[in-house]
Amino acid sequence: MDNDTRSQILAELRSRHAARKRADEDVKAARDRLTRGGDIKPEFEFELMGLFARNELSAAVTIWALAAIFALASMFWAPWFEGSLWLTLVIASKVILLELCRRFVAHARHDSDLKLWRRRFILAELFCGVVWAGFALVGMGAGGSEPFSSHVFIFASLIVLLAVRMTFTSPMMSLLYVGTIPMTIAVSTRLIMMGEPFYYALAAMAVGVHIYFVFLAKGIRQTTLQMLAFRAEKDMLIAELHEEKLVSDEARRRAEAGSKAKSRFLATMSHELRTPLNAIMGFSEVMKDEMFGQHSAPVYREYANDIYDSGRHLLQLINEILDLSRIEAGRYELVEERAHLGDIAQDCQRLLTLRADSKGLEVSMEIDSDLPQVWVDVRAMRQICLNLLSNAIKFTPKGGRVSLAVGQAADGGQILIIRDTGPGIPADEIPKVLQAFGQGSLAHETAEGGTGLGLPIVKSLIELHGGTFDLSSELRKGTEVRVFLPPKRVLATVAPLQPLGAERHRQPTPPPTRKPRLKVTPRPPSPLRPTRVA
């Protein structure tokens, strides 16, 4: 199974898992709504109750101070004992509510009975609301002789109370209703009882202000819910990241263990297979060459030749697998030295001449004569050239043509080009043939069998040199492979400062006028080796 198919399967599995997870969450949310009779999640409802309780505890002194101010102000139009009685009731109701809030903060948990706590809060807040509504009754026994300022002050106190309770009880709208509606009803009733249009207008304004504050409280509550949702989503993301980190750590540990097992296996395979292979190839070569006499049956020689070829193929496969494994593990070390890329190409062409002649192929070579030396791993470059040439010869039918060219690249580097007239590779199969054990469909049908490791090894080796690998092919017309060595791999030559041997023929003449030396502008030195003088 190739990487693209594997990626598609993994993506499909992830999408199915995500869809199943979303469906489960929707079912759970619907079940929770049916159980609770609302749209708020249990954890959100607990957080909203906790927010209300903490707000009440943090502003306890402020509410008591506000009630004391109202009680003192009421003494201007009402007897002092009425204001004192009202203040006492406010303090008592507030103590009950604060004690309930303190217990909730100290003992309540997510799995607590939230309905019971909600009922307790509603009753305590209702008691507070009724007590605060009693402020509108302070001084009403004066027989209508209350001053105008008292009614205005009571109206203003209603607005202040609505603002305070909206701030504290907005997380739980039911508490806002039971805590403020009694006060609004009491104030509106007192103003209507005055029997004047002005007070009717104040009563209507009191109701309108109450409705306005209710809408503001709903907006604040919605913002709070969004804040809690974002925080829950953040916590969920953090938990998922932690889980993914654990999974990735486990996957990395398994990958490292697998890499070590792979290295041990390859080392064992290298030793355990090479040793008998040497014996098999050696004895089969002796038998096929009939060194100790002719076989009684000629077919034995053919069998020995087949055994030798099979052993050589297996040894080549082992070497290629080991090379590719070392490259992938980052353990392939380049043994660099200076060499001529054209000489390496000629050596490889000579090694494969007999093979090309046996298939009746025409092999042409074109190498620039003035190419400078390059700083490369000679063994790796020879393997690159041999793999590409052997592929071209292998996949080119009889009577075809293979060409090899080495020249200067446009950027100052050097380029190796190999062309053939084989069946070509479809465009959609080029990524496949560049993978380990990947082969094109047409080449697999029309040519000799192979391991599919040649091109991946070539690509990896040239990338170790800092170069690039380019493969282009046209179906039924052939394939062209270009291997580029970067300019930093090219060793620049520096011209001598004076002609050789000139120091032997110098005459003792008076020192002439100083002449400027010949300026030489060499190619920038390679970072891999200092510039050398030719």
Q: What is the DSSP letter of 178?
A: H
For residue 247, what pLDDT is reported?
84
Least confident of 68-82, 121-135, 170-184, 448-462: 448-462
Show the domain range for 90: 40-242
For residue 369, what pLDDT is reported?
82
Query: Could you tell me which residues are beta bridge partners of residue 337?
Result: 376
Nearest 5°: the CA angle 49, 52, 58 is 140
For residue 295, what pLDDT is reported?
78
344: which 2 tokens?
Answer: 């390496």
Strands of 391-475, DSSP E: 401-408, 414-420, 468-474
pLDDT digits (tens, 9 = 90+) for 336-362: 899 999 999 998 888 888 888 888 898
Looking at per-residue pLDDT, the higher value among 503 and 169 belongs to: 169
pLDDT digits (tens, 9 = 90+) for 371-420: 899 999 888 888 899 889 988 888 888 888 999 999 988 888 999 999 99
Query: Could you tell me which residues are beta bridge partners of residue 417?
Result: 405, 482
* Same domain (yes/no): 86, 228: yes
Contact 72, 83 (CB under 8 A): yes
| Domain-embedded: residue 264 | no
Torsion of Cα atoms, 420 then 426 then 428 then 429, to 10°? -60
**What total number of domains does the chain contain?**
2
- The last residue of one of the domains, among 224, 242, 260, is 242
For residue 275, what pLDDT is reported?
77
For residue 11, what pLDDT is reported?
65
Q: What is the DSSP string of 238-278?
A: HHHHHHHHHHHHHHHHHHHHHHHHHHHHHHHHHHHHHHHHH
Edge-to-edge strand order for the sheet containing 414-420?
Answer: 362-367, 401-408, 414-420, 478-485, 468-474
Looking at per-residue pLDDT, the higher value among 281 and 23 belongs to: 281
For residue 406, what pLDDT is reported?
93
- CATH number for the domain including 451? 3.30.565.10
* Same domain (yes/no): 184, 51: yes
| Domain-embedded: residue 501 | no
| Domain-embedded: residue 451 | yes
For residue 527, what pLDDT is reported?
40
Buried b (16+ CB within 10 A) or exposed e, 164-193: bbbebbbbbeebbbbbbebbbbbbbebbee
Q: pTM of this prediction?
A: 0.46
Phi, psi of 187 (to 5 degrees): -65, -45
User: For residue 506, what are the contacts with CB-CB under 8 A and spacing of at least 6?
Assistant: none
Given a cut of 60, whether residue 468 has pLDDT beyond it is yes
| Domain-embedded: residue 2 | no
| Domain-embedded: residue 433 | yes
Given a cut of 60, whether residue 185 has pLDDT beyond it is yes
How would residue 524 be classed by pLDDT, with cut points 50, 70 and 90?
A: very low
> What span, in angstroms and rounded, lies between the C-alpha atoms of 39 and 148?
47
* Same domain (yes/no): 98, 224: yes
For residue 516, what pLDDT is reported?
39
366 sits in which H/E element:
strand 362-367
* Same domain (yes/no): 341, 480: yes
* Same domain (yes/no): 85, 201: yes
pLDDT digits (tens, 9 = 90+) for 28-54: 554 454 444 444 565 678 888 888 888
**What pairing do the DSSP bridges indicate for beta strands 374-377 and 401-408?**
unpaired
Looking at per-residue pLDDT, the higher value among 201 and 318 belongs to: 201
For residue 417, what pLDDT is reported?
93
pLDDT digits (tens, 9 = 90+) for 244-265: 888 888 888 888 887 777 767 7
Given a cut of 80, whether residue 505 has pLDDT beyond it is no
> What span, in angstroms and rounded, lies between the C-alpha atoms of 217 and 362?
90
Given a cut of 80, whether residue 519 has pLDDT beyond it is no
Task: Give the 3-state secondary structure of residue 532.
Answer: strand
- The last residue of one of the domains, among 242, 262, 294, is 242
pLDDT digits (tens, 9 = 90+) for 437-467: 666 666 556 545 566 677 888 888 888 889 9
Instruction: Please compute the mean of the pLDDT values over residues 300-324 and round it to a whole number.
Output: 78
User: Which of 134-143, 180-189, 448-457 is modeled with the greatest confidence?
Assistant: 180-189
Task: Give the 3-state secondary structure of residue 364.
Answer: strand
How would residue 9 be classed by pLDDT, with cut points 50, 70 and 90?
A: low
> What span, in angstroms and rounded, lies between the C-alpha atoms of 10 and 2?
12
Angle between helices 298-328 and 454-464 (to 10 degrees): 40
Distances (CA, A) of 66 to 62, 75, 466: 6, 15, 79
> What span, in angstroms and rounded, lies between the C-alpha atoms of 273 and 516?
67
- The number of angstroms, rounded, from the C-alpha of 375 to the middle of its chain's C-alpha atoms is 38
How would residue 287 be classed by pLDDT, with cut points 50, 70 and 90?
A: confident
Torsion of Cα atoms, 124 then 129 then 131 then 137, to 10°? -170
For residue 43, what pLDDT is reported?
64
Q: What is the amino acid identity at position 334?
A: L
Distances (CA, A) of 516 to 415, 483, 501: 38, 43, 20
| Domain-embedded: residue 75 | yes
Q: What is the DSSP letter of 143?
A: S
Return mean pLDDT, the chain. Answer: 78
* Same domain (yes/no): 230, 371: no
For residue 36, what pLDDT is reported?
45
For residue 231, what pLDDT is reported?
82
> What span, in angstroms and rounded, lies between the C-alpha atoms of 160 and 281?
102
- The last residue of one of the domains, among 211, 242, 273, is 242
